[in-house]
Amino acid sequence: MTQPRFSSASTHTMPDSTWRDDTRLTHLGRDPASHAGAVNIPVYRSSTFIWPDTSTLEDYQHQGADPNYRGHIYGRNGNPTTAAFEDAVAQLEGGFRGLIMPSGLAAIVGAVLAVAQAGDHILVTDNCYWHARQVFDQVLPRYGIDTTYFAPMLGEGIGALIRPNTRLVYAEAPGSSTFEVQDIPALARVAHAHGALLMLDNTWATPLFFKAFSHGVDISIHAATKYLVGHSDAMLGVIVTTEALYAQVRGAVRHLGYIASADDAYLGLRGLRTLSVRLRQHERSALAVARWLQQRPEVAQVLHPALPECPGHDVFKRDFLGSTGLFGFVLKPIPQHLAKTFLESLRLFAMGASWGGFESLIRQQIPPRDHPSAAVAPGLLFRLHVGLEAVEDLLADLQQGLEHLPSPCKT
């Protein structure tokens, strides 16, 4: 068979297994020899790929029915730029292959629909991303898929909730609102013992700080919009799977028409090059801010997985390689109008729905919960994303904001 003219597979895109992640991030998804020596893979803006003769066309048509086929047939199935991003993320995380998606939510929806069908039951962590919860509550019932929410710290106790038709356990570690750190290996053991799959939203830790597949995960999903892109300028998602599931998931998401543009894939690859440097800065600054908040009289609790007081901290110490810039804190009870005053007084912490970029963000959280955590103090919950600004300026901004609160809050 004639080989595809462009291929993402080469010795350059498979770094030495002895290389550390910082080195791998610099080289994953690159193949200068196949692209005129370009240090970055070009942006292939092409919906159509032309075959040189009818025999090649026939080979492509035959092979194109195989979801594992790596040649480029049509833009909806990907191109050299998107394939390079998929491979880079998968190799960093330790999965088989990746599937680029147009957003993190698309990755969630596509991955769930790829493995669950009418009549199936899924177990979902109660601290999950609230837009994902809307999918589980409002979309999946129309497909005949039933959802049960479990307390995030239940661990192996989920065994009591598994039914004969339970197909999937969906986890998020830590939860993106209240930051409990789930015991992923424990969830994997129970799920697999009952013939179910374990899916993880690994956006917070990224493939750099949590190696999902070495902890028993079958499908890992990422809102690459966040830390992987890192510059708040692209919507992007990615699904990474085991070899056993890749063909099934790829077939489903491509039949549904999911794909992201080569331009956004390029921005994802650009973000990967600096992921390690950025995350370590986010980590240092966020820990400094979290420890400072712990000393403030206005604050009832800080929810940061790297701090001993956070639910699941022991699991974090055991399984994670680092922390990132997103965490929560609880203000002692105050009227809602004062919470608004606090938010609007901040200058560096802007109110925004996303996180993972270079900028610091804050928003008040009112997460929907079936199982409210007794480990979270009463009060008003806020989520901070600590960006790349000077930490001294960030602390000064928070201090002047907290000074708008009344003195009873400080007692």
Rounded to 5°, the CA angle 172-174-178 comes to: 105
Instruction: Check 167, 226, 296, 369 and give the catalytic one.
Output: 226
Our answer to whether residue 201 is catalytic in this structure is: yes
Q: For tokens 């007794």, what's the residue?
A: 374
Taken in order 243, 81, 276, 199, the sign of the CA dihedral is: negative
For helices 275-294 and 391-402, give the axis angle rounded to 10 degrees.
30
Query: Which residues, in sequence order, are bridge partners of residue 186?
Result: none
Beta carbons of 289 and 394 less than 8 angstroms apart: yes
Task: Spell out the residues 6+ positions from residue 98 whose beta carbon is closer than 8 angstroms to its own.
Answer: 85, 86, 87, 88, 89, 90, 238, 239, 240, 241
Tokens of 177: 């609102």
List own/partner pairs for 1-6 with CB under 8 A and 24 or more apart.
1/59, 1/63, 2/52, 2/55, 2/56, 2/59, 3/71, 4/60, 4/70, 4/71, 4/72, 6/34, 6/44, 6/72, 6/79, 6/80
Rounded to whole angstroms, how far apart are CA atoms 252 and 246? 10
Q: Is 76 a known active-site residue?
A: yes
Q: Residue 362 in 3-state DSSP?
A: strand
Catalytic residue among 76, 163, 318, 410: 76
Choosing from 129, 227, 246, 266, which is the catalytic residue?
129
- 296 an active-site residue? no
3-state secondary structure of 3: coil
Distance (Å, whole) CA 372 – CA 386: 26
Residue 364, beta-bridge partner list: 382
CA 11, chain centre distance (Å)? 28
Catalytic position from the list 126, 201, 264, 397: 201
Q: Do the beta carbons of residue 207 and residue 180 sit within 8 Å?
A: no
What residues contact 43, with CB distance under 8 A and at least 6 apart?
Answer: 81, 262, 263, 265, 266
Non-local CB neighbours of 109 within 8 Å, separated by 6+ positions: 135, 139
Direct distance between the N- and C-terminal alpha carbons of the chain, in angstroms, rounded to an integer = 76
44 tagged catalytic? no
Which residue numbers are catalytic? 76, 129, 201, 226
